[in-house]
Amino acid sequence: MSFDRSIKIAPSILSADFANFGQEIQAIESQGADWVHIDVMDGHFVPNLTFGPMAVKAFRPHVKTVMDVHLMIAPVDPYIDAYAEAGADVLTAHIEAGPHIHRTLQAIRAADMKAGVALNPGTPAEAVAHLLDLTDLICVMTVNPGFGGQKFIDMTSKIRSLRSMIGDRPVHIEIDGGVDPSTAPLVVEAGADVLVAGSAVFKGGSVNDPDVYGANISNIRDAANGVWA
Ligand code: DX5
Ligand code: ZN
């Protein structure tokens, strides 16, 4: 996984057909997805339940790009090795999930994955000031985590602060929640490069009508790239 700051669209399979993940992943990748975003929820850190390591391992052979696993679970550390074994390329933990995010990020890298740290909307940019050399990705939540299809919360000032704190370090800024063609330009202009989108990618399409996914992905990408046109 090489580093660059080009715009990457990462569809969240939380909005896919839950009875057909293999084909859904193939459909979004064939339609231009750069990464595949997998939302892991535990019914404790967030009020919803999704994928354990066995499910993520079953997705792995279908993902040809980057498997981006977003843990919304607490605790994190007991599960790091299981998600490494499942084949995660990027493993992201929430800073709010426990007292020892520093140790968690070290453990994720020690398990040969890229280490991400996610910030809930109420958590300030400064919370990661002492983690910048331990992380490969900062995920800025633009909704309160737990569900797809929520309304975008404007975090552009936080994104700008993070972009300036990161400087030349090879750290991605990922935005998660309510990303669509109208909000994508705001976050990219502020400094984001990875755009997670669930409902805005999957709406109106299906594995039998995958061109709709392609059009939805292009609309987000074009809006984001338009910032620099
Ligand atoms: C929310 C998840 C998101 C979610 C985004 O807890 O982390 O990845 O799937 O969904 P949309 O794009 O519909 O807001
Ligand atoms: Zn997510």
Residue 226 alpha carbon to ligand 2 centre in Å = 24
What is the band of 216 on the pLDDT scale with cuts at 50, 70, 90? very high
Give residue-wise pLDDT tens across range 130-171.
999 999 999 999 999 999 999 999 999 999 999 999 999 999
Give residue-wise pLDDT tens across range 62-75.
999 999 999 999 99
Asked if pLDDT for residue 229 goes beyond 70, the answer is no
CA 12 to ligand 1: nearest atom? 9
3-state SS, 49-117, equals ECCCHHHHHHHHHHCCCCEEEEEECCCCHHHHHHHHHCCCCEEEEEHHHCCCHHHHHHHHHHCCCEEEE
- The secondary structure element, H or E, covering residue 172 is strand 172-176
Provide the 8-state DSSP code for 148: S
From 94, 176, 195, mutation site for ligand 1 pocket: most ligand atoms within 8 A of C-beta: 176
- 94 in contact with ligand 1, CB cutoff 6 A: no
- Positions annotated as catalytic residues are 39, 176
Give residue-wise pLDDT tens across range 164-209.
999 999 999 999 999 999 999 999 999 999 999 999 999 999 999 9
CB contact at 8 A, 177 and 145: yes
How many CB atoms are closer than 10 A to CB 110?
12
pLDDT for the residue 2:
87
What is the band of 59 on the pLDDT scale with cuts at 50, 70, 90? very high
- 172 in contact with ligand 1, CB cutoff 6 A: no
How many CB atoms are closer than 10 A to CB 46?
21
